[in-house]
Structure 1
Amino acid sequence: MEVFPQFIHRLRQTFGKRSFALWLLASHDRQFRLLHAEGERTGGPIPSAASHVEDERYRWEEQADVALLRLFFPEAGQAVVVASGSICAPSPDSLEILWLTFRLFLAEEMIRTKNDEWSKLLQGIRSISSKLDIDSIIREIIGNALAVIPAADAGLLHLYDPAIDRLVPKATVGFHDRVFQYFKLRIGESIAGKVYQDGHARIYRSHPETKKAMMDISEENYRFLNDAKELRDLNGLLCVPISIESERIGVLVLHQFHQDKVFTDYDLSVLQGFADQTSIALHNAKLYADARTKHDDLVKRNEIHESLKQLFLQNKGTESIIRALERMTAEPVIFADWLEQRYFPEDCHFPLTWEELSLLLGQKRNPVKVTLSSQGAGDQAFLLYPLGNGQVFLGCLLICVTDGELSEHQRVTIEQGSAVLTLDLVKKQSLSSIMYKRAHDLFLGVVESKGQELQERAQVLGLKQNSLSLVVFAYFSRCHDLSILEANIHRLVTKWKWEFSSSHILVYGFHNHVTLLAQPKSPSEIKEIMARLQAASEEWEHGGDASLSIGVGGIYTGIDRIGKSFEEAKKAAHYLLNRGRFGVARYGDLGVNRLILNQSQEEIDAFVRDVFGPLWEGQEKHQELEHTLLTYMECSQSPQQTARELHIHVNTLYQRLRKIEELLLLDLRQPEDILKVQLACHLRRES
């Protein structure tokens, strides 16, 4: 469905016969670009960007002779509609519909862009398998990279030549061919030399930034490169390493000379994907040169790729891909999906636990051979092929090795299958992120609505009017890599969808937290939910790459109290987070801690120091008095019980209490002083 014509139609309804122009400033744009103009207005001057507060969706502005409707999309940019003449501001409902319609248009554009990227990636894989001319393959890969990265308009591939210890151009797009003749970079020279040296990709978004990074290039190399393309017009640059396994063999560079776009970090990750394709192409060329007689194997490789690609393009699903791999290898093949904690085929027996799998492959990207022993079956060898997207572990393929090693045909089949499965997993994860945002908006709509609007939105989610409702808010911390955070959220959402299938109404991830809305049917089900939440927190803490602080709101009857449970769940989670703890906290169990939810740990520590400070001066002298005071409060100020706990006479206790009152300047018979000391003791135990 094309949303853009619908959006223009709604603008016509809003502005009547007045002229208007629609501008967009996307995340990769340097300035607004004109999407549509109607009437006498042909676009007019380029508007300026406007700052906006968090959660602001739209803004209506009226100026001397024009009216402006600004639409804000934090992750995708902002749009502005400029209309001529004086116009009455549309109703909030009309503005909301316009905002939602344009957001759908942006989502369509993003999906269309993703499909183009996947098409180019698959086209590159097909070229790798179907062509023998390495130069044409590399040129095609660079061309595909330029096609899907809008800010780039030229590309250059350097390969390391060990004979002269230099990086030399191998293929170019957008440069004069004379760059091949003399341009040779030392290791560590300029941007390409540094990327080859340390293996870290680099991004530059402006001419001064790029020029500064190239300051150490030799005069001779600068002259050769400038002759091929004038560097004064260089406005940005992406550079990524090309590696075969752990060995770097070159770098791939994209340049921006004339495009009015801005390079993004996502462009850098996409270019790394094309660089990986290039490394595969170069590696395949070497294999072909070393084994020309294996023509039949190469033909078979193409058939394998085509078969797997068709399964992927036709959305046949993971199960179909695994069955195809089993037929092609003539061996049992199992896929372990780490994010969703599922096995394919579903009826298989996987010989390793999820914990063992994480320990074996969590940080590896190369195949691992393991030998497992079982009673009655003896030793059995397996090869584990890990699947990953950057630092994110996605899962692995397991194949039984009957004769100790895989044949060339089996190895190629598994590698092709790994690539297709990785693309499929990344695609599903991207689509899940879009769905999570939609679920987040739906849930907030229920939380913030009242009356008839609440009834309608609750009906969309399938909420039962007078059922018990419970909200869980899980917050990830100690997870600084965004890609790993996104994978953790996806894995937790999938896990909870399965574990709470009988009671969950909605579960989604957003930013760094996961929200669960459940309607349990019995007290036993509530108890089971709490146990599973505790197990989830311990699992992530044990994994080591993140901590999970889970807050649980109250259990209330009626959809109008879901918002209350949600706020309580957030407060309970932030209570744990502010104290650097993981685990599960129920808001109803916080007790007196509810009074200090909004206090920072620094403020709490300062209060405790103010009370106990005099006892901490001269630690050896007053340590006994501090222990006495803590025990006295734990025994509910009972002198006899406190004396028994301390193994002292009650008169000795009274002497110590008088000394404590003198040091702390308080009277333990005054309710206000008692409350102050009780709170300080409680906070000391909590910290």
Structure 2
Amino acid sequence: MNQQWTAFNQISKMLDTNQSIELNVHKIIEIIVDSIPQADAGFFLLWKDDLQCLTIDAAVNFQQQHYMNTRLKQNEGISGKVYTSGQGVMLNSAAEIDYLMGNMRKPNKKYYLDSFVHYGEPKNCISVPIEYNEERFGVFTVDNFLNDGDFSMDDFNFLQAIAFQVAIAIRLSCDIQKSQQRTRDLENSITIHQKLNQHILEGHSIEQLILYLDTLTNDPYFLLNAVGNLEFSSRNFDRALNFISSLIDANFHENWKNQQYISIYDGQNCYLHIFRVSSSVYISGFLVIKTNKPHLPLMTQLTITHAASIIAMAQMKQRNSFERELQKRQSLLALLTDYNQSIELRTLCTYYFETDRFLSIMTIEHHFLISSDFTSLLNFEKRLNDTLSHTKIILIPTKNRIYCIIGSTTKQNSTVQNVINNFLPECRFFTGRSVKSFDNLYLSYMDIEFILFINKIDNKISYTSFKDLGVFRYLLQLSDDEKIIFVEDELALLMKEKNSRELLDTLLTYFEHKKNAALTAQYLHLHINSIYYRLTQIETLLQIDLADFQNNINLYSALFLEKYVYHKKKQLHVIQ
């Protein structure tokens, strides 16, 4: 990706000169082929109005004496079809290539085959139109004869971006030939384009690039996502945004066709010029300039179009970075899921947190966060970290909840919860213990797993913190075999009875209602005498006294673990 971005910038600089496109096109083809790993050949075709056909003006790894004779009509071969339809293609099989080349006229097919430098026909091919604002100039096509592997969508998007830049250069070249007066405007445009490129190459953000556009035209700019939600504004919130958002829906995307931008009157003496931020695959957003002019000067159009193209490239690079970050965080969560204490876990924790911090894990359940994409989640995380002092958090999304790892100078997590609730009211939190070591962070994760499990198997209880579990969190850390042994030691005589479930449930309910027989009878919809009878039966079978405190502790702990073991057996039975 970095190699292609460098190539994109290099080609942009070549195009932003006073030299004609014909002088640079062979070098451009060479750069393209070198920047796409699987590519080993390529050619550049221009449409000639006087001949009504495509001709090959430059090529890499094809023999010039043969390909110079090629004359492709509309819809002829791969390049002819791409030129006519305006739709690029990525072909990753020889069968697809043969099929689309099937209608080539014999002379052109012979010139093409004779021009091969490599033995055999290509295995892969990408072909994209060179066009700007519904004006089509030609086609870029790259082939793979010898390399292993297929072309990727990143390769396709890269070639599409280069084709668009070349189309702008061709369009500019035509305009310059018509009017020498535009030379000064072109020089200014070149400087601006280079500064726009430099903004991204020097590590400036998309937001800084949009602020720079504002200084160029002294007009407000808005960057919206694909569904019309504001991502950044060069000035304060504007009522025009509501108007734009109301226009952007599924049909709005379809209406673009091949237009790079559209202009809309907002009914308030202002015009909104809306530019697509897009790859060849989908529209990722819109760059909007608000002016009092119904039409934009050509150079302004080209500058904003170039900026939109850079933003699309930067977003693509940013998405790749976000995907790597998400994978890193999911790896951290997976290590905690395995109760891992490995060097890999410590390395990941050190990447995010200082070593002298209290660490804990908290889960957040809220429909907005769970339905958000990772980019929005990172923006929310940044807002939280900017608000919190002496505390850092990272958010890790899963299907049903968001895991929040907290590193702080104190053990208190209530501050984090309060800040989150200020932004998103009605969040539901589950909190694990604080630990002082990366190696023990899995204990905090384990607390949450226990809390979620107990809440799931007993809807009468609602635990939200590891403290709510009390001594149970230590009982749950016993191995399954130890749990079963303890349960059998305390309850085996009850569990052998035919009405064992009835007796166990009665005893547990009795404890949960603070040994109040009347409340127990009310909850179980039984007469109080039935409760007394069952309690007497339990004391007789177990040969214990329910008034004894130690007996109560042992029995209540065993009943808790019995419920855990019983539910786990049910889960295993379902799985089997």
TM over 0.5: yes
Distance (whole Å) between structure 2 residues aligned to residue 249 and residue 160 of structure 1: 6
Cα distance between partner residues in 2 of 1:500 and 1:410: 38
Q: Secondary structure of the residue that 2:269 maps to in structure 1?
A: strand
Match of 1:370 among 247, 255, 264: 264
Q: Can you list the C-alpha shifts for 1:396-442, whole angstroms capped at 9, x where unaligned?
A: 43334244433344334333333333333333332222222222222
Aligned to 1:239: 127
Matched residue, 2:272: 382
**SS of 1:416's equivalent?**
helix
For residues 286-321 of structure 1, the C-alpha deviation after alignment (integer angstroms, 9 at most, x for no partner) is: 222222332111111122223323333222334543
| 1:184–1:328 CA distance, 2 compared to 1 (3 A) | same
Find the partner of 1:442 among 320, 332, 337: 332
CA distance in 2, matches of 1:587, 1:198: 59
Q: Secondary structure at 2:296's aligned position in 1?
A: coil
Contact 1:152 1:256 in 2 (8 A): yes
- Structure 2 letter corresponding to 1:236: N
Residue 398 in structure 1 maps to residue 288 in structure 2: yes
441, 445, 459: which one aligns with 1:562? 445
Equivalence for 1:218: 105
Give, in angstroms, the shift of residue 566 of structure 1. 6.7
User: How big is each residue's C-alpha offset from its partner over 1:517-569, in whole Å with a ceiling of 9 and x where there is no partner?
Assistant: 26662776676677577xxxxxxxxxxxxxxxxxx785544552425747998
Residue equivalent to 2:210: 322
1:343 maps to which of 229, 232, 245: 232
Alpha-carbon displacement from aligned partner over 1:260-279 (angstroms, at most 9, x marks no partner)? 55433332222222222232
Q: Paired residue for 2:58, among 150, 171, 182?
A: 171
- Find 2:44's aligned residue among 153, 157, 161: 157
Structure 1 202/141 Cα, relative in aligned 2: closer, same or farther at 3 Å?
Answer: same
Q: Distance in 1 between matches of 2:360 and 2:199?
A: 44
Question: Which residue identity does 1:428 align to in structure 2?
Answer: Q
Measure how far apart 1:129 and its partner are.
1.8
Give the partner amino acid of 1:281.
Answer: A
Instruction: State the partner residue of 2:245.
Output: 357
1:209 positional shift: 5.0
Select the residue among 229, 239, 251 that pairs with 2:116.
229
Identity, % of aligned pairs?
17
Counterpart residue number, 1:273: 161
Counterpart position of 1:425? 315
Q: Does the C-alpha gap of structure 1 residues 381 and 215 become closer, same or farther in structure 2, counting only changes over 3 Å?
A: closer
1:240 deviates by: 2.0
Q: Counterparts of 1:8-27 in structure 2 under 5 Å?
A: none
Q: Aligned letter for 1:192? A: S
Following the alignment from structure 1 to structure 2, what is the Cα–Cα distance between the partners of residues 255 and 284?
Answer: 29
Matched residues in 2 for 1:411 and 1:348: separation?
A: 23
Please give the per-residue CA displacement for 1:81-116, whole angstroms capped at 9, x wherever unaligned: xxxxxxxxxxxxxxxxxxxxxxxxxxxxxxxxx222
- Kindly provide the amino acid, as one letter, of the partner of residue 279 in structure 1: A
Cα pair distance change 1:590/1:531, threshold 3 Å: farther
Cα distance in 1, alignment partners of residues 62 and 39 from structure 2: 13
CA-to-aligned-CA distance 1:385-406 (integer Å, 9 cap, x gap): 3322345444443334244433
**Amino acid paired to 1:470:** T
Please say if residues 395 and 403 of structure 2, whose CA atoms lie closer than 8 Å, have aligned partners that are also in contact.
Answer: yes
Maintained 8 Å contact 2:15/2:169:
yes
- Per mean C-alpha deviation after superposition, the further-off stretch among 131-140 and 442-451 is 442-451
Match of 2:201 among 268, 289, 313: 313
Structure 1 counterpart of 2:376: 492
2:326 counterpart SS class: helix
Offset at residue 384 of structure 1 (A):
2.9
- Find the counterpart in structure 1 of residue 513 from structure 2: none
Instruction: Letter of the 2:47 partner, please give it.
Output: Y
Letter in 2 for 1:366: Q
CA shift for structure 1 position 121: 0.4
CA change 1:226–1:391 in 2 (3 A) is closer
Aligned to 1:187: 74
> How far apart are residue 587 of structure 1 and its match?
7.6
Is the CA contact 2:67–2:111 (under 8 Å) kept in the aligned structure 1? no
Q: Could you tell me how far apart the structure 2 residues matched to 1:117 and 1:216 are? A: 33
- How far off its partner does 1:165 sit? 4.2
- 1-structure distance, mates of 2:101, 2:370: 38
Which residue does 2:139 correspond to in 1? 251
Distance 1:409 1:466 in 2: 55
User: In structure 2, what is the Cα distance between the partners aligned to 1:313 and 1:455?
Assistant: 33
Aligned residues between the structures? 432
Q: What is aligned with 1:297?
A: 185
Aligned to 2:29: 142
Hey, which of these two has a bigger chunk of strand by percent? Answer: 1
Quick one: distance in 2 between partners of 1:567 and 1:408?
A: 64
Q: For residues 210-252 of structure 1, give each alpha carbon's deviation from its aligned partner in whole angstroms, at most 9, with x where no partner exists.
A: 3344333232221111222267243332222332223544322
Decide whether aligned partners of structure 1 residues 457 and 304 sit closer, same or farther in structure 2, where only a CA change above 3 A counts.
closer
| In structure 2, C-alpha distance between the alignment counterparts of 1:196 and 1:279, rounded to whole Å | 13
- How do 1:103-114 and structure 2 match up within 5 A? 114=1
State how 1:471-486 maps to structure 2 within 5 Å.
471-472=364-365
Partner of residue 119, structure 1: 6
Q: Residues of 2 paired with 1:442 and 1:146: CA distance?
A: 39
CA distance in 2, matches of 1:513, 1:369: 42
Counterpart among 470, 475, 478 of residue 363 in structure 2: 470
Q: Distance in 2 between matches of 1:156 and 1:240?
A: 11
State the alpha-carbon separation in 2 of the partners of residues 518 and 397 from structure 1: 36
1 CA distance for matches of 2:233 and 2:263? 20
Provide closer, same or farther for how the CA distance between residues 468 and 188 of structure 1 changes in structure 2, counting only shifts above 3 A: closer
Ranges in structure 2 where 5+ consecutive residues have no aligned partner = 407-412, 435-440, 461-524, 526-576
Aligned-pair CA distance for 1:148: 0.6
8 A Cα contact 1:169 1:179, kept in partner: no
- Could you say what secondary structure the match of 1:274 adopts? helix
Task: Give me the TM-score of the superposition, normalised by structure 2.
Answer: 0.63
**Distance verdict in 2 for CA 1:407–1:278, change over 3 Å:** closer
Task: For 2:261 and 2:41, locate their aligned partners in 1 and report how far apart those are by CA, in whole Å.
Answer: 36
- The answer for the alignment partner of 2:512 in structure 1 is none
Decide whether the 8 Å contact of 2:74 with 2:81 is kept in 1: yes
Kindly name which structure, 1 or 2, has the bigger radius of gyration based on alpha carbons. 2
- Return the offset for 1:508: 4.6
User: Which amino acid is the alignment partner of residue 234 of structure 1?
Assistant: P
User: In structure 2, do the counterparts of structure 1 residues 563 and 352 end up closer, same or farther at CA, with 3 Å as the change threshold?
Assistant: farther
> What is the alpha-carbon distance in structure 1 between the residues aligned to residue 142 and residue 346 of structure 2?
53
The secondary structure found in structure 2 opposite 1:178 is helix
**Distance in 1, Cα, partners of 2:134 & 2:320:** 28
Aligned equivalents of 1:145 and 1:471: distance in 2? 47
